[in-house]
Amino acid sequence: SLTRQTLPTAGTTRCATFGKGVIEIEMGDITTQNVDAIIGSSSSNILKEKIIKAAGKQSQSAYNTELENHP
């Protein structure tokens, strides 16, 4: 039999503790988070492009320079 599961909504947070560390996962738009840095996988071109676009032209320029010098 199939069970219907409720999908998490924006703002939903999940936490897990591993030793002395905590991983917190929040559902939402990563580009609107109030954080010092966003680290995204470069293997996801769509995610990478969205993050860089939201960060602005200066971040795009810095990314391009790093990619050129350290491919």
For position 18, what pLDDT does the model report?
Answer: 87
Q: Which residues pair with 34 in a beta bridge?
A: none
For position 6, what pLDDT does the model report?
Answer: 64
Under-70 pLDDT residues of the chain: 1-10
Contact 38, 51 (CB under 8 A): yes
CA distance 45 to 60: 14
For position 2, what pLDDT does the model report?
Answer: 61
For position 7, what pLDDT does the model report?
Answer: 62
For position 71, what pLDDT does the model report?
Answer: 83
For position 43, what pLDDT does the model report?
Answer: 84
Residue 50 CB coordination number (10 Å): 15
Q: What is the pTM of this model?
A: 0.57
